[in-house]
């Protein structure tokens, strides 16, 4: 009988979380981040994609005092500590919004639409919010 | 991969998102308000016709009917399916991505 | 096949819950196993037993409860999203000191881990939202 530390791990699937919406206008950005933080405990292969207005979720310098909502953007910095390091932004989405990776609150890898299409094809499970 | 789109192409850019991120041989299924994207004679008809070149495109019949549209109005080459067909598409393709 | 469903919107406001219901009905009719339906964001509002929709139209919550009962489907309402929106079971009501609970039959409140687990265990995960 296997010792506890020798037991086989469960399946490891490639999970992709796709974010396409701006923060604050709707709750999807905040609550999808909460999913990702929980997902970290399951030792799966996690990628986070920010495209369309989702790129705004990572914008530096969010000051939400005036709208009376909690600024949750610092939480993206905690992802690294949870071993969630594969964060991607889509080049076309960034460019059409006049953003660069320097505007982002965490390090991200910029992928073109075609590169992102290939990455999506490689996944096992894709969640959208 | 099966890409589902549920918002009208005249309201949101989700159909664009699906069409531009679908790899060769993938499928796109229009449901709910997205079914307007499957109709002849609209501002997006040409875009969907072009997509038929490398993708399979489907539209959910019950959602078309609900909105007063008929199968005759659907772009040639776009296949009308019912919910059973939707289920079949989900099992036929290796995964599903929802463009909301 | 073993399927899982994620519903991101509440009943009636968006078609998501209806589309999911029709999809799940078709799936079980075809003999597939719908392992879990997970309700997130406003989707948790599908789980209140206090809704009184007009009699001449569908009762989405009741349809979910019936479907779950007939086909042994695990209907899970996310606890974090439920807390935000006021969907409670008896335990939660006691824990939070609230005057009542409102979870509908067949639904249970649990953590986001159930969604991740559904993604791991199911062969396909289908998302319905807005």
* CB-count burial class (<10 Å; 0-12, 13-18, 19+) for A22: middle
C1 has a chain B CB within 8 A of its CB? yes
Q: Note whether A15 contacts C116, CB cutoff 8 Å.
A: yes
Per-residue pLDDT at A11: 81
Q: Does A17 touch chain C (CB under 8 A)?
A: no
Instruction: Examine the pLDDT at B66 and tell me if it is beyond 70.
Output: yes
Question: Would you call A27 an interface residue with chain C, using a CB distance cutoff of 8 Å?
Answer: yes
Please, what are the averages of pLDDT over each run of 10 residues along chain A (129 residues)?
61 96 98 96 96 98 98 97 96 98 98 98 97
Contact B87 C32 (CB under 8 A): yes
Among B53, B52, B12, CA closest to B34: B12
Query: How many C-beta atoms surround the C-beta of residue C121 within 10 A?
Result: 15
DSSP-assigned letter for residue A104? B
Please return the burial class of A31, using the count of CB atoms within 10 Å of its CB with bins 0-12, 13-18 and 19+. buried
Q: Are B58 and B71 in contact (CB under 8 A)?
A: no
**With 80 as the cut, is the pLDDT of residue C6 above it?**
yes
* Torsion angle defined by CA atoms of residues C6, C108, C110 and A74, in that order, rounded to the nearest 10 degrees: 60
Q: What residue of A is the nearest CA neighbor of C40?
A: A31
Nearest CA in chain C to B7: C130
Domains of chain A and CATH, by start = 12-128 (3.40.1260.10)
Is residue B11 within 8 A of residue B1, CB to CB? The reply is: no
Q: What is the pLDDT of residue B41?
A: 98
- Residue A2's pLDDT is what? 58
Q: Which of A6-15, C26-35, C98-107 has the lowest mean pLDDT?
A: A6-15
Query: Is C117 a known active-site residue?
Result: no
| List of domains in chain B | 2-99 (3.40.1260.10)
* Distance, CA of C6 to chain centre: 8
Residues of C with Cβ-Cβ distance to A28 under 8 angstroms? 8, 41
d(Cα B38, Cα B31) in Å, to the nearest integer? Answer: 10
B100 → closest Cβ in A123, A125, A128: A128
Helix count (H) and strand count (E) of chain B? 4, 5
Q: Given CB atoms, is A11 within the 8 Å cutoff of chain C?
A: yes
Q: How far is A72 from chain C (nearest CA, A)?
A: 16
State residue A10's pLDDT score.
75
> Rounded to an integer, what distance in angstroms lies between the CA atom of residue C105 and that of residue C69?
9
Question: Number of structural domains, chain C?
Answer: 1
Domain range for C53 is 2-128
Q: How many CB pairs below 8 A link A and B?
A: 35
Contact A20 B17 (CB under 8 A): yes
Q: What is the CATH number of the domain that holds C44?
A: 3.40.1260.10
Instruction: Kindly tell me if the per-residue pLDDT of C120 is higher than 60.
Output: yes
pLDDT average, residue stretch C39-49: 98
Burial C5-25 (b: 16+ CB within 10 A, else e): bbbbbbbeebbbbbbbbbbbb
- Which residues, in sequence order, are CB contacts of A43 under 8 Å at separation 6+? A9, A12
Residue A4 confidence (pLDDT): 60
Is residue B32 scored above 90 in pLDDT? yes
Mean pLDDT in chain B? 98
Q: Could you list the beta-strand ranges (E) of chain A.
A: 14-19, 45-50, 86-90, 109-111, 125-128
CA distance B90 to A59: 35
Q: Do residue B32 and residue C15 have CB atoms under 8 angstroms apart?
A: yes
CA distances from A79 to A44, A59, A114, B63 (A): 14, 16, 26, 40
Tell me whether residues A10 and C120 touch, CB distance under 8 A. Answer: yes
Helix spans in A28-90 (H): 28-39
Separation of alpha carbons C43 and C65, rounded Å: 15
Instruction: Collect all residues with Cβ–Cβ distance below 8 Å to B17 and sequence separation of at least 6.
Output: A20, A51, A52, B5, B99
Average pLDDT over residues C83-96: 97
Please indicate if any CB of chain A lies within 8 Å of the CB of C8.
Answer: yes
Q: Which residue from C41, C80, C117 is facing A28, i.e. has the nearest CB?
A: C41
| Contact between residue C11 and residue C97 where contact means Cβ atoms under 8 Å apart | no
């Amino acid at each position: 009988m296997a010792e506890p530390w020798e037991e086989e791990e469960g399946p490891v699937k490639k999970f992709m979380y796709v974010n396409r919406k701006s923060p604050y206008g709707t709750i999807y950005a905040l609550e999808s981040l909460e999913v990702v933080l929980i997902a970290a405990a399951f030792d799966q292969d996690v990628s986070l994609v920010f495209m369309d207005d989702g790129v705004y979720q990572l914008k530096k310098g969010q000051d939400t005092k005036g709208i009376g909502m909690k600024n949750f953007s610092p939480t993206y910095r905690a992802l690294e500590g949870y071993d969630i390091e594969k964060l991607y932004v889509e080049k076309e989405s960034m460019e059409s919004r006049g953003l660069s990776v320097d505007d982002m609150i965490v390090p991200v890898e910029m992928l073109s639409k075609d590169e992102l299409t290939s990455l999506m094809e490689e996944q096992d499970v894709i969640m959208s919010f | 991969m099966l890409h589902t789109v549920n918002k009208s192409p005249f309201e949101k850019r989700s159909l664009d998102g699906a069409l531009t991120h679908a790899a060769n041989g993938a499928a796109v299924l229009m449901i709910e308000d997205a079914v307007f994207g499957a109709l002849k004679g609209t501002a997006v008809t040409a875009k969907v016709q072009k997509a038929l070149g490398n993708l399979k495109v489907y539209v959910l019949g019950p959602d078309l009917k609900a909105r007063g549209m008929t199968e005759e109005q659907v772009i040639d080459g776009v296949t009308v399916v019912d919910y059973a067909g939707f289920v079949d598409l989900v099992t036929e393709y290796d995964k599903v991505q929802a463009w909301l | 096949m073993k399927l899982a469903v994620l519903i991101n919107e509440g009943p009636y406001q968006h078609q998501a819950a209806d589309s999911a219901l029709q999809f799940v009905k078709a799936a079980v009719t075809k003999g597939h196993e719908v392992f879990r339906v997970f309700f997130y964001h406003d989707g948790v509002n599908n789980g209140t037993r206090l809704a009184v929709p007009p009699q001449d139209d569908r009762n989405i919550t009741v349809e979910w409860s019936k479907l779950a009962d007939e086909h042994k489907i695990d209907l899970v309402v996310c606890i974090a999203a439920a807390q935000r929106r006021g969907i409670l079971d008896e335990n939660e009501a006691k824990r939070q000191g609230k005057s009542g609970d409102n979870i509908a039959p067949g639904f249970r409140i649990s953590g986001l881990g159930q969604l991740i687990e559904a993604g791991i265990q199911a062969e396909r995960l289908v998302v319905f939202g807005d």
